[in-house]
Amino acid sequence: METITNGSSHANGIANEKAKHKDLELNPIPSAHLINDIVQSFGWRGVNVTVKDRSTKQLLSILTNANGLVQAGELIAIMGPSGSGKTTLLNTLSHRVAAAGATTCGDILTNGQSIGWQQLRHLSAYVEQEDALIGSLTVRETMDFAARLALPPSISKKERLGRVDDLLSSFGMVGQAHTIVGTPIKKGLSGGQKKRLGVASRLVTDPKILFLDEPTSGLDSALSYEVINYIKAIGKKNNLIVIASIHQPSTTTFELFDRLCLLSKGKSCYFGPPMAARQYFSDLGYEMPLEINPAEYLLDLINTEIVREGDDVNARIEHIHDAWENSPEARDIKSDLETAIAHSKDPKTAGPDIIKMKFAHQNAFIVPLVLLHRAWIKSYRDVVAYGIRIVMYLGLAILMGTVFLRLKTNQTDIQPFINAIFFGSAFMSFMAIAYVPAFLEDRATFVKERANGLCGPLAFTIANFLIGIPYLFFIAILFSVVEYFLSNFQPNFSAFMMWVMWLFLDLVAAESLIVLVSSIFPVFVVSLAVAAFANGLWMCVDGFLVPMATLNVFWKYVFHYIDYQAYVFQGMLVNEFQSRVFDCAGDAQTGYQCMYPSDLSSVGKIRGTAILEAFNYHTGLESEWVGIMIGIIFGYRVLGYLVLVIKKN
C-alpha cells in the first residue's frame, strides 16, 4: 500500500508535476471547435446488466441499479477492484456491448433525454485501454487520418490541419509531431506519449463526451499524473464531460478527479467528490489513515479478496452497499436525475434537443480512399507488412531456382519440372501467413474506429484488398524472374506472363484466406495455426500428392474443387507442358523407352500433352480456371467482410 509522508520531498514532487503542466493549465486551446455547448449533463439511472451463467444457466448480475450524473466540464473516475464492473459500466454508458450475451436495462440520459447509440456516437469518443495505433505513422499523421475519417467535407484541409496542430500543442506533442508511433523493429513514442496520442486522436473528431478505459494502465505514477492532468485541463477549458475507468491511481492523480464512482461486485459503494469520500466512509466506521493513499485504501476496503483478521468480507461489502443505497447522497443523485429529466421536457429549461440534431460526417465514398492512403503509407514504411515478405519470397525464389537449376528437356527432368511447379506455388501460398501480424494490427485499428463511428467493414475490406494488389504483383514478378529462368522453364514471353498471372492469383487467394482466418480468429497464434492447417489441407488435395484419379470421393468433391492451389497447379502445369516436347531414353538402334506414351514415341519424343493426360488435365480450360480463382478470391473477401459485420467486438 502506498504510504504518504508529510515531508518536503512529497510536496516538492507534487509541485514539480504541477509546474511541468503549468503552460497547459494557463493556455486554453485556441480553436472553438472543441467547446462543448451541446451536452450539459450526462447521467444514468437504474442501469442493470445481467448475463447467463454457462454452467448453471442462471442469470448473473454484473451491474446492479447503477446511478450517476456528471455535469459538463467534469472529470469522473469509475474505480473498483478487478471484476467490480468498471468496464461493464463504461461500455454500457457508451452504448457498447457490455459483455457477451449480456442483457441491459436502465436509462442513459444526455441532457435528461434518452438518446440512441447513433446520436451518442456523434457526440462521444471512446479511447480503448489497449493502444490500437498504427506504429508506422507519425503522430501528426495519426491525428490527421482520424480527422479525415470523422470530419465532413465542408471542413477545409487548412482548417483540419489547424485543429490537429492545436491539439498537438495542447497535449505537449509538437516536438514529437514527426515521430512515428513505434513498431517492433523501430522505436517511437513512450508509453505516456502513446496514451496522450490516443486521447488526442479522439479529440480531433470533436466529441463532447469522452470515455476512457483505464487511460493510465501500464504507466508509472508520474506518467499517470501527466496523462490525467492533460485530460483534465483540456476537459475544463472546453467544457467536456470525461468519464474514465481507472484501477489504482496515486494520491496526486486521485485528487485530479471531480467525481468518484466506486463499485464493488457490480454495485455502487459511493458517488461524489473524491475528497469527500474520506468523511463518508469515516461516518460508516471505516476510518481512513491520513498517511495512506485514499484510492488504495478504498480499493482494499471494498475488495472481496482481501480478508482482514476477524472480519467478514461479505458482511462488510454488503454493509457498504446498503449504506450507500440508503444514504442522503444516493437520494440526491436520484433527485438530480429526475430534475434533469423534468428540465428536458420543459421548453424554458431544456437544453439542446439532441434527438432532432443533424450531425455532419465524412462522405461514405471518401472513407475507403482515406483508409487506402493510410494503408499505402504503412505498407512502404512498415517492413512487417510487405518488406519482410518480399525478402522471404526472394529467398525462396533463389532457393527453388538453384535446387531445380537448369532443368533439361529429357524425360528424367519431367518430374523435377512438376515438383518445381508444385512446391513453388505451394510454398508461396504457405508463406502468406507472414501477413497475419500486419492484418491483426489493421483489424485492431478498424475495431476501434468502427466503435467510434469512423468507418465500416465495407470501406475497410475494400482498402485492405486494394493495397495488397501492387505489392503482390511485384512479388509475383520478382519470384518469377528468378525461379523461372534459373530452372529453365519454357523460354517464351507469353508462357512467362501466364506463369506470373497464376502466381499472382495464387498470392491474392492466399492473402484473402489469411484475411478471412484472421478475421474469425483475431489472435496471432490461433490465426497462424489455422491458416497453416488450411494451406496444408489445400496442398494435400490439389492433385499433386494424390492424383485426381486416386483421390477419394469425399476429398475430391468437398475440398478439391474449392482448392485455389489446385487451379494454380493445373494452370501452371498446362502452361509449361502443353507446347513442350521432351526426349525419351535410348536411341533409334536400341529402341526408345518413353515414360509417357505419345504420338511422338516412335521418334524418341514425349509430347507435353501426354504428361497432362496422366494428370487428367485438359488444355483450353484456362479461362474457366481463372474465373474460378477470381470467384474463390471474391468468396474469401466477402466471407471476411461478413465476419467483420457479425463480430462487432
Q: What angle do CA 447, 92, 126 make, to 5 degrees?
A: 40
Residue 152 has phi, psi (to 5 degrees) of: -70, 160
Kindly state whether residues 315 and 382 are assigned to the same domain. no
Length of the chain: 649
pLDDT at position 26 is 40
Q: Would 295 be classed as within a structural domain?
A: yes
Question: The domain that contains 93 carries what CATH number?
Answer: 3.40.50.300
One-letter amino acid for residue 269 of the chain: C
* 2, pLDDT greater than 50: no
pTM: 0.85
Helix (H, G, I), strand (E, B) or coil at 166: helix
* 467, pLDDT greater than 70: yes
Whole-Å CA distances, 391 to 303, 385, 470: 53, 12, 16
d(CA 241, CA 239): 7
Kindly state whether residues 381 and 287 are assigned to the same domain. no
* 11, pLDDT greater than 50: no
| Structural contact between residues 122 and 361, judged by C-beta atoms closer than 8 angstroms | yes
Kindly state whether residues 427 and 292 are assigned to the same domain. no
Kindly state whether residues 277 and 376 are assigned to the same domain. no
Least confident of 77-86, 141-150, 353-362: 353-362
- Tell which of 315, 348, 381 closes a domain: 348
- Enter the C-alpha cell of residue 314: 461479505
pLDDT tens digit string along 564-620? Answer: 999 999 999 999 999 999 999 998 888 899 999 999 999 999 999 999 999 889 899
pLDDT tens digit string along 503-548? Answer: 999 999 999 999 999 999 999 999 999 999 999 999 999 999 998 8
The strand order across the sheet containing 209-213 reads 124-127, 209-213, 241-246, 75-79, 259-264, 267-272
Helix (H, G, I), strand (E, B) or coil at 477: helix
Kindly state whether residues 310 and 378 are assigned to the same domain. no
First to last CA, the chain: 35
| Structural contact between residues 70 and 76, judged by C-beta atoms closer than 8 angstroms | yes
Q: Would 353 be classed as within a structural domain?
A: no
Kindly state whether residues 92 and 206 are assigned to the same domain. yes
Kindly state whether residues 327 and 384 are assigned to the same domain. no
Report the pLDDT averaged over residues 317-337. Answer: 94
pLDDT at position 239 is 93
Residue 227 has phi, psi (to 5 degrees) of: -65, -50
Q: Would 360 be classed as within a structural domain?
A: no
Least confident of 67-71, 88-92, 106-110, 360-364: 360-364
| Structural contact between residues 164 and 204, judged by C-beta atoms closer than 8 angstroms | yes
Q: What would the DSSP string read from start to end of 367-381?
A: HHHHHHHHHHHHHHH
Kindly state whether residues 302 and 400 are assigned to the same domain. no
The strand order across the sheet containing 113-114 reads 59-71, 41-52, 103-110, 113-114
* Number of domains into which the chain is organized: 2
Region of 259 please: left (phi>0), alpha (psi -120 to 50) or beta: beta
Kindly state whether residues 312 and 390 are assigned to the same domain. no
- Tell which of 293, 315, 348 closes a domain: 348
| Structural contact between residues 253 and 243, judged by C-beta atoms closer than 8 angstroms | no
Kindly state whether residues 515 and 609 are assigned to the same domain. yes
| Structural contact between residues 641 and 461, judged by C-beta atoms closer than 8 angstroms | yes
Choose the most confident range, by mean pLDDT, from 41-45, 385-389, 550-554.
41-45
Q: Would 427 be classed as within a structural domain?
A: yes
Q: Would 424 be classed as within a structural domain?
A: yes
Kindly state whether residues 25 and 144 are assigned to the same domain. yes
Q: Would 359 be classed as within a structural domain?
A: no
Q: Would 489 be classed as within a structural domain?
A: yes
pLDDT at position 502 is 98
Q: Which residues pair with 272 in a beta bridge?
A: 260
Range(s) of the domain holding residue 119: 8-348
Q: Where are the alpha helices (DSSP H) in 171-274?
A: 191-203, 221-238, 251-254
- Tell which of 286, 314, 348 closes a domain: 348
Q: Would 354 be classed as within a structural domain?
A: no
The pLDDT mean for the chain works out to: 89
Kindly state whether residues 337 and 427 are assigned to the same domain. no
| Structural contact between residues 339 and 71, judged by C-beta atoms closer than 8 angstroms | no
pLDDT band at 308 (very low <50, low <70, confident <90, very high): low
d(CA 26, CA 277): 29
Own/partner contacts of 386-390, CB < 8 Å, gap of 24 or more, are 386/438, 386/471, 386/475, 388/434, 389/431, 389/432, 389/434, 389/435, 389/471, 389/475, 390/471, 390/474, 390/475, 390/478
